[in-house]
Amino acid sequence: MKPSLRAAFSAAILAVALMASPAPAQAASLTMRGADVSSLQRTLDLGGKYYNASGTQADPYDILKTAGVNYARLRVWNNPASGYNNKAKVLQQARAIKAKGLKLMVDFHYSDTWADPGKQYPPAAWASYSLTQLQTAVYNYTYDVCTSLKSAGLTPDSVQIGNEINTGMLWPRGQVVNSNFAPLAALLKQGHNAAKACNSATQVIIHVADADSMSNARWFYDGIKAAGVTWDITALSYYCMWHGTLANLYNVITDVRTRYGKPVIIVETAYQFTAADADSEKNSIPGTVLCDGIPATSAGQAQQFTWVQNTARNAGAVGVFYWEPTWYAIRGNGWDPANINGTGDGWDNMAVFDWGGKVNPHIRWTA
């Protein structure tokens, strides 16, 4: 779920956005150069292959590391019908991630399926829970996943308590209604406390898809702060088709960084490398919906990603994560966990690997 698509950017707005690109003397360093690789294990299990810029088959983590990635993000769903992205699969994939020397972020959706600004469905097992019961469930589940990883020598370096929780999570109990943040805050505190009880050094992230709106970001973070929520990193999603100009992104990052005094990361971003569609599943983002006049080509994809990184760095952010760069078009790795074989991949034009599994040779994560 995303907001409605934006119109093409005007030349005037582009000119303003470009001013954010040259790195000033005091620009931050992007120490968290990330990739959300949540679909990768399914692709590998289906026999999917990955190829480096030279066309040689290689381990996908090695390919990403060569491109500059130092951090991997994994979503965790409570009891997905597909069996993928559950705790067992997160443990399996975390072993591969840590073995490559990458840092690990665990993204708790607190759902059996996708949680985003338009839907925050509780897990089926929690559907009838009161708010008090949900607080206990959030604590226990967060602690269980975290300590299971820790016991295996895979302690997460950071965890997200909820995914794109613009108006709350675990609806309706944890939804923000009439600017009442108390129910959501009660849940976030339990997630925070569980993560810290597992490992005090694990950084707690609160994530909204509000890179388009300073007022919305302030409403949310002011609200949870006033309700007593603590967190370590502020995270935003930025998809230029939905979240506006780079100039606006710069302003939002700068505002939340200074207003709350915490590091900021762009935890999701992506751009298309083609206008075509690899399968029968409609692309989530049409190739004709472009930003800043950048074409839907492999060079264009890399250019947009570089501009996002430059803008984030210049605004003082410390990290940028590409969302699902490895989710290329392979049959059986569908978007719907309840029908993973029968649905297709709506992200096949947004991954940084093409339909044959070869990496975009232009893409780079830069410090």
Residue-wise pLDDT tens digits, 242-276: 999 999 999 999 999 999 999 999 999 999 999 99
pLDDT surpassing 70 at residue 6: no
Residue 27 confidence (pLDDT): 62
How far, CA to CA in Å, does 166 sit from each of 25, 142, 184?
Answer: 33, 20, 11
pLDDT of residue 288: 80
Mean pLDDT in residue range 222-238? 98
Catalytic (active site) residue 164: yes
Region for residue 190 given its phi and psi (left: phi exceeds 0; alpha: psi -120 to 50; beta: otherwise): alpha
Query: pLDDT tens, 28-72?
Result: 799 999 999 999 999 999 999 999 999 999 999 999 999 999 999
Place of tokens 């409605």: 4
Preceding omega of 295 cis (within 30 degrees of 0): no
| Cβ atoms of residues 320 and 266 within 8 Å | yes
Average pLDDT over residues 18-25: 37
Catalytic pick among 107, 210, 212, 268: 268
Q: What is the pLDDT of residue 1?
A: 38
Query: For every residue of the chain, which 3-state class applies, written as one string?
Result: CCCCCCCCCCHHHHHHHHCCCCCCCCCCCCCEEEEECCCHHHHHHCCCCCECCCCCECCHHHHHHHCCCCEEEEEECCCCCCCCCCHHHHHHHHHHHHHCCCEEEEEECCCCCCCECCECCCCHHHCCCCHHHHHHHHHHHHHHHHHHHHHCCCCCCEEEECCCCCCECCCCCCECECCECHHHHHHHHHHHHHHHHHCCCCEEEEEECCCCCHHHHHHHHHHHHHCCCCCCEEEEECCHHHHCCHHHHHHHHHHHHHHHCCCEEEEECCCCCCCCCCCCCCCCCCCCCCCCCCCCCHHHHHHHHHHHHHHHHHCCCCEEEEECCCCCCCCCCCCCHHHCCCCCCCCCCCCCECCCCEECCCCCCCC
Let me know how long the chain is: 367
| Alpha carbon distance 188, 224 (integer Å) | 9
Per-residue pLDDT averaged across 80-84, rounded?
98
First to last CA, the chain: 30
Tokens of 138: 């959030």
pLDDT on residue 18: 38
- Whole-prediction pTM value? 0.93
Pick the catalytic residue: 36, 107, 112, 164?
164
Q: What is the mean pLDDT of residues 82-90?
A: 98
> Is residue 268 among the annotated active site residues?
yes
Say what angle helices 87-99 and 131-151 make with each other, to 10 degrees.
Answer: 40
pLDDT over 70 (residue 13): no
Per-residue pLDDT, 257: 98
**Distance between CA atoms of residues 99 and 93, nearest Å:** 10
Rounded CA-CA distance 75/92 in Å is 13
Q: Nearest to residue 34, comparing CAs of 103, 106, 115? A: 103
